[in-house]
Amino acid sequence: MTMAALSRSPSEIARETLKQLALRRLSPTPDHYLALYDEIAGVPSTPAFPSTPLRAILRVLPAQTPAQKRLLTALDKAVEEQSWAQMQSTLVGYANLGLAPVVTADQELAQAAPTRLPERLAENLARLVDNTLPALGEDDARLHEMAQQLCELLRTHDPLPADVERLLADFSHRVSFTAQDQAAIRSTLLALLRLVFENIAALCIDDAWLYGQAQSLLEASQPPLQLRRLDGVAQRLKDVIHKQTEAREHTVRAQAQMRELLASFIERLARMDESSSSYHQQLEQCAERISQAQRLEDIAPLLEEVIGATRAMALSTRVALGELQDLRSHADARHAEIDQLRQELDRASNLARHDPLTGSLNRKGFDEALEREVARALRQDRPLCVALLDLDDFKAINDRLGHAVGDQALVHLAQVARDALRPHDQLARYGGEEFVILLPDTELDEAAQIMRRLQRALTTRFFLQQGERVLITFSAGVAQVRGDADVSDAVRRADQGMYLAKRSGKNRVVAA
């Protein structure tokens, strides 16, 4: 830079630059002006920082990943500070995105060291293997051996993931085949079991109680199998078997008495035949002696003998007829007793735990179902609710339309409830027009919603009686069972909630 240029002010340099543009006949472009200005000033000027174009670029750069967001923030700061050094560093960072990072020696050592499986994850895997084995049966000894090896490895201190992965892959491969075999075995056994039940049902149409049992077993063995339904059938069969045992003892005694009566009858017939033969023989002897008699005095004793024999025969016949009539009366009584036992068996088979009118559970069936559900809820730490409902204005329906229509209304309610409730919910007739519903795996608020859904279902499915739509509503109380000792209290609280719903205007659900 010359001393003359240093002594000039920027305004003087600018005027001289404009003069030179005119003398040199150059177009007044920014580039020409800048070149002449630097020539006259004797020093190059610093180029202006392109903030506006760079900010336009910033607006289109991606910012989806955390790394992209971080670099975009740094680039924005570099533009704001007009720092080319920061711009260079940020652009290099963008260029390295997605490339493998440079690994230092310490990082190589850290990567070479094998990682360890977390202790909690290893224990959960071991429990999963232990819980899987019972469902796979005991036939595959190799599978159980592999499971034991895998569990031992998982429960050692810091098992290596590579070893766990190898044993787990082998075990999983073996499990796939065993599971397929067990599924095929279960399907085949279920088909055979249903075939047995169908044959029993086909062979016992005349035996009503046994036919009822066979039909129940056929229904219970229909896939998908449900433990609740199987438990109910098992309890029902136990009751029927107990009743059948009692009836069999009575039947055996009745049959023994029938055999004794039949033996006495045959013996009496034989005695009558023997007496008749003796009588006929005696008459033949008298007739022969009468034919040989020469005098009237000889015939008189023979006639007395015939009359006496005839009287004795008549008396014996009357006694025999009386005994036979007694035997027949006893036989009729035994037949009536056997018929009564068959009827009792039929009732025990069909009505042991069900209400005969609505087909829902009766009090006995409800108590047993409640006991099972409470035990299951405690065992699995799951919620259980009970709902008690009572038909609104049921007496008015009976008084206006008759008790037969009232019974049909109860049947209608039970059918709508079975259709609206979930498969594992259980409906029971608690008495009169009261019903109780068990709601497993259900919190209190959800149970109240289920009962309100049932109320809405009753409003859409009308009960028709001779073309008249009869509106059926109910009031219900819902309570949650909080433990084994809380069962009776939960039913009591549900009952209180039901009465509160009645007093609040009916057709309501109150959670107690």
207-234 residue pLDDT tens: 555 556 666 666 666 666 655 556 655 6
CATH 3.30.70.270 domain span(s) along the chain: 363-511
**Residue 82 neighbours by CB under 8 Å, 6+ apart:** 49, 51
Neighbours of 92 (CB within 10 A): 10
**Percentage above 90 pLDDT, the chain:** 14
Residue 58, judged by CB atoms within 10 A of its CB (0-12, 13-18, 19+), counts as middle
Q: Which of 231-240, 328-337, 355-364, 440-449 has the lowest mean pLDDT?
A: 231-240
Q: Which of 177-191, 194-208, 376-390 has the lowest mean pLDDT?
A: 194-208
54-109 residue pLDDT tens: 877 877 777 778 788 888 888 888 888 887 777 787 787 777 776 555 445 455 44
Q: For position 112, what pLDDT does the model report? A: 46
Tell which wins on pLDDT, 197 or 253.
253
User: Which runs of E-coded beta strand occur in 278-364?
Assistant: none
Tell which wins on pLDDT, 104 or 160.
160
Which residues belong to the active site? 433
- CATH fold for the domain made of 246-351: Four Helix Bundle (Hemerythrin (Met), subunit A) (1.20.120)
251-305 residue pLDDT tens: 667 666 666 665 665 666 556 556 666 666 766 776 666 666 666 566 667 666 6
7-11, 173-177, 500-504, range with greatest mean pLDDT: 500-504
CATH 1.20.120 domain span(s) along the chain: 246-351
CA distances from 274 to 263, 308, 461 (A): 16, 17, 78
236-250, 261-275, 360-374, range with greatest mean pLDDT: 360-374
Neighbours of 40 (CB within 10 A): 18
Q: For position 383, what pLDDT does the model report? A: 92
Phi-psi region at 363: left, alpha or beta (left = phi > 0; alpha = psi -120 to 50) = alpha
pLDDT over 90 (residue 454): yes
302-350 residue pLDDT tens: 666 666 767 676 677 666 666 667 766 776 776 677 677 666 665 655 5
Selection from 384, 366, 363, 365 nearest residue 483 by Cα: 384
Q: For position 363, what pLDDT does the model report? A: 85
Looking at domain 363-511, which CATH architecture does it have? 2-Layer Sandwich (3.30)
Phi-psi region at 349: left, alpha or beta (left = phi > 0; alpha = psi -120 to 50) = alpha
Q: For position 244, what pLDDT does the model report? A: 62
